[in-house]
């Protein structure tokens, strides 16, 4: 049985990790940390886990965490890079759900996250955990940086097009909407029910910190810089991301439907819908699935790619568990087989 630690288990992503790991046949949560909730049972804080999880929160301790085979960091940015070097030196493998190891340029990290990067050697070594792109590297990594939620939805929509050099690299638009859980569990005025319900708004239009992450990865697929306009929106639902991506094909008559079906054939968590269909966020709720559909604008000059995920699963904890499965030679789908929840 693989021993697992979760640092920062009181947020939505920590709770989602506990839910998914509860039915993982090869992993056992040995250490669950929270300074504020130390001594409290996890199922007291999250009643939905009653009968499935008996872990008790404890204060973070390197010696305790070093007894684990793997540690997930579901923490604010800046925590993992402080603790990761000590754990990796002790042979612990890490999956980080924060942004600490996503951006390879530490100056870019400092500009967007307002703190210096303190683990540059590990930053260079870390593997970006999008299995559909880096499956082999993830499997052999000591430290995996689990992608952000918006970046996951946008990258999966664009990756086949950029790999094959089929679109213009300037003027790409990603218009993305997220449920309120994307803002985290911490109390904020903008996340209050009366503030978020019956409303719809864009935010961080002049610059969102997921933009450099998306641009970094798209440039890898295209092997050159990519021009992207990314605009996030908040919608009054708990879970889900819907990314509508607009691109200009070099050949408008290319069979993009066939391209996506072939590129993602055999991918356990990518579902390419039949031509003309429209994916819904509720169709992926609670699952690790990304559903994608392709449309052509009436002018035939614009290809529109629709991509939906659950921001807490494929956009966070589910993808982290998918990477964990690869790292420890479990079936990639283990703990992630349950179908989506609807309604």
**Which residues are annotated as catalytic?**
149
**How is 274-320 classified by DSSP, letter by letter?**
PTT----GGGSTTSS-EEEEEEE-TTSS-EEEEEEE-TTIIIIIHHH
DSSP-based helix, strand, coil % in the chain, nearest 5: 35, 20, 45
Dist CA 161 CA 258 (whole Å): 12
The C-alpha R_g of the chain, in whole angstroms, comes to 20
| Tally of CB atoms within 10 A around 314 | 27
263 contact partners, CB below 8 Å, separation of at least 6: 159, 160, 163
Instruction: Kindly state the DSSP code that residue 249 receives in the 8-state scheme.
Output: B
> Of 101, 73, 100, nearest to 17 (Cα)?
73
């Amino acid at each position: 049985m693989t021993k697992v630690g979760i640092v920062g288990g009181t947020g939505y992503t920590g709770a989602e990790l506990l839910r998914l790991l509860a039915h993982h046949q090869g992993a056992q949560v040995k250490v669950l940390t929270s300074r504020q909730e130390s001594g409290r049972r996890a199922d007291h804080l999250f009643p939905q886990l009653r009968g499935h999880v008996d872990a008790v929160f404890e204060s973070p301790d390197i010696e305790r965490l070093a007894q684990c085979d793997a540690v997930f960091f579901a923490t604010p940015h800046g925590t993992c890079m402080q603790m990761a070097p000590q754990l990796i030196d002790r042979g612990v493998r890490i999956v980080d759900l924060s942004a600490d190891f996503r951006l390879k340029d530490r100056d870019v990290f400092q500009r967007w996250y307002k703190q210096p990067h303190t683990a540059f050697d590990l930053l260079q070594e870390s593997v970006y955990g999008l299995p559909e792109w880096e499956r082999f590297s993830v499997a052999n990594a000591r430290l995996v940086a689990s992608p952000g939620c918006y970046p996951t939805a946008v990258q999966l929509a664009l990756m086949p097009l950029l790999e094959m050099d089929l679109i213009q690299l300037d003027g790409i638009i990603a218009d993305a909407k997220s449920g309120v859980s994307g803002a985290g569990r911490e109390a904020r005025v903008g996340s209050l029910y009366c503030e978020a319900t019956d409303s719809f708004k864009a935010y961080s239009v002049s610059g969102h910190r997921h933009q450099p992450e998306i641009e970094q990865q798209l440039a890898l697929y295209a092997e050159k810089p990519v021009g992207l306009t990314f605009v996030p929106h908040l919608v009054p639902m708990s879970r889900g991301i819907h990314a509508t991506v607009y691109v200009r094909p070099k050949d408008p008559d290319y069979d993009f439907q066939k391209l996506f079906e072939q590129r993602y054939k055999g991918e356990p968590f990518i579902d390419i819908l039949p031509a003309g269909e429209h994916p819904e966020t509720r169709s992926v709720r609670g699952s690790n699935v990304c559903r994608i559909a392709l449309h052509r604008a009436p002018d035939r000059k614009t290809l529109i790619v629709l991509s939906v995920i659950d921001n807490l699963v494929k956009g966070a904890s589910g993808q982290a568990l998918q990477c964990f499965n690869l790292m420890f030679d479990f079936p990639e789908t283990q703990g992630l087989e349950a179908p989506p929840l609807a309604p």
